[in-house]
Amino acid sequence: MAKRVLLVNKFYYPRGGDCVVVLNTEALLRENGAEAQVFAMEYPQNLKAHYQDRFASQVSFGGGMGNQWRALQRTLGRGDVGQRFEAVLNDFKPDVVHLHNIHSYLSPVVGELAHKHGVRVVWTLHDYKLLCPRYDCLLNGKPCEKCFNCSKLNVLMHRCMKGSLPASGVAWLEARKWNRRTLQQNTDVFICPSQFMADKMIAGGFDRDKIKVLNNFLDPVKLKQYQSIDTSAPREDYYCFVGRLSAEKGIEDLLEVASHLPYRLKIAGSGTLEPAMRIKYADKENIEFLGMLDAPDVARLLAGARFCIVPSQWYENNPLSVVESLCAGTPVAGSNMGGIPELINTTNGIIFQPFDKETLSTAITMSMTRQWDHAAIARQALERFAPATHMNVLMKDIYHI
């Protein structure tokens, strides 16, 4: 009899990285003989699902007081989310409930209910929400760990949520309700996509015996794209950045440094800083803004680049930009932040210090002028981030099915 896995995520369409991971995991589970279903929040863009009529009702933190009150109740596990999730548990009878991004629009109450039903609960962490009520460990643009081992009151003191006391109050209430003791009691395994995140979870008081490191994987479609790249082809005379154009990604320092170097930089992505950066560097012929690219165009961009630059200034987890670059056989110059350094070694890239423009400039020059073994970089990465590699660990070591 096929084992049953219930995947839980707040949205069920390719809205962001967490959603893409859920969709890809669902497909892989079915390919590997498991019966997989999904529980999410009702949303107009959701894909069709077997249990969509039992999804938690939609809530919104915008609009009038009524909407905000319902959203607050949801963060605390109240309203219809528990009743509807329990109906799915009773009907589907899963062997494993696999949680993903569930805070706010769903609630950790789903893990609590699954645990009460005697179901094995695993939770893939896509951000640092269990340690930081703001989720990204940033305070005034710099890494912050003030809430790791305290009552989370710092989120109120510093108004970490959008500078708003009410929004920060909701985040504090949510963290107080779903505290470390409660979350650990209801979860069998926390999946951390990087060793860095695992270490931070342990530093925050979580039981190391409940933590498993498992990198994200390339979905089969992207895998074929990168497998088809001719890594022996000559590289073009440029390096590239792929990602969100926002402050925590280090894009401002990168563009300032790049503007004083003779090498061509191609920027793929959009974000809050894009309009201002386009204007500021409009006269720099060596900097090209490409805007948002689809997956095949990103693969082509990476395949032609001398290297990819990842100058992040926050605790990146298991960044897809690094994974995809390495799978294209393209080395990475990455900042010494979060999970970036554990993806890079002396044969596939260079590490530099964040917030340090001098070491950033040196890393760019070294990466641009060094000879790299592109075929070896791609071969090692394609094996490490293959879906089969991920699924083998997930099924045997984590799901125990």
Q: In the chain, what are the helix, strand and coil shares in percent, each to the nearest 5?
A: 40, 15, 45
Q: What is the pLDDT confidence band of residue 294, given thresholds at 50, 70 and 90?
A: very high
Would you tell me the crossing angle of helices 220-227 and 295-304 to the nearest 10 degrees? 30
Tokens of 243: 């990602």
How many degrees, rounded to 5, is the angle at CA 58 between CA 57 and CA 64? 125
What's the CA gap between 6 and 94, in Å, rounded? Answer: 6
> Which residues, including other chains, have CB under 8 Å from residue 311's CB and lie 6 or more apart?
241, 249, 250, 251, 253, 254, 334, 335, 352, 354, 360
Residue corresponding to tokens 């090692």 = 380
Tokens of 7: 């995947």
Residue corresponding to tokens 């107009």 = 44
Q: What's the mean pLDDT in 315-342?
A: 96
Q: What's the mean pLDDT in 271-283?
A: 97
Percent of the chain with pLDDT over 90: 92
**Mean of the per-residue pLDDT values for the chain?**
95
* Matching fold, domains 4-217+386-399 and 220-384: yes
What's the CA gap between 16 and 376, in Å, rounded? Answer: 30
Q: Does CATH place domain 220-384 in 3.40.50.2000?
A: yes
Q: How much is the pLDDT for 401?
A: 81
Question: What long-range pairs does 131-139 form, CB within 8 A, spacing at least 24?
Answer: 131/200, 131/201, 131/204, 133/160, 133/161, 133/168, 133/171, 133/172, 133/174, 133/175, 134/160, 134/161, 134/171, 135/103, 136/248, 136/314, 136/315, 137/314, 137/315, 138/248, 138/314
Q: What's the mean pLDDT in 277-283?
A: 97
Task: Return the minimum-mean-pLDDT range out of 42-46, 64-68, 213-217, 395-399.
Answer: 64-68
What would the DSSP string read from start to end of 47-62?
PP-TTGGGSBPP--SS
Taking the mean position of all CA atoms in its chain, how far away is CA 185?
Answer: 24
pTM, two decimal places: 0.93
Which tens digits make up the pLDDT trace of 66-123? 878 888 899 999 999 999 999 999 999 999 999 999 998 999 999 999 999 999 999 9
Q: Which SS3 state, helix, strand or coil, does residue 191 take?
A: strand
Q: What's the mean pLDDT in 345-366?
A: 97
Q: What residue ranges in 9-92 does DSSP mark as E strands? A: 35-39
* Domain range annotation of the chain: 4-217+386-399, 220-384
Q: Does CATH place domain 4-217+386-399 in 3.40.50.2000?
A: yes
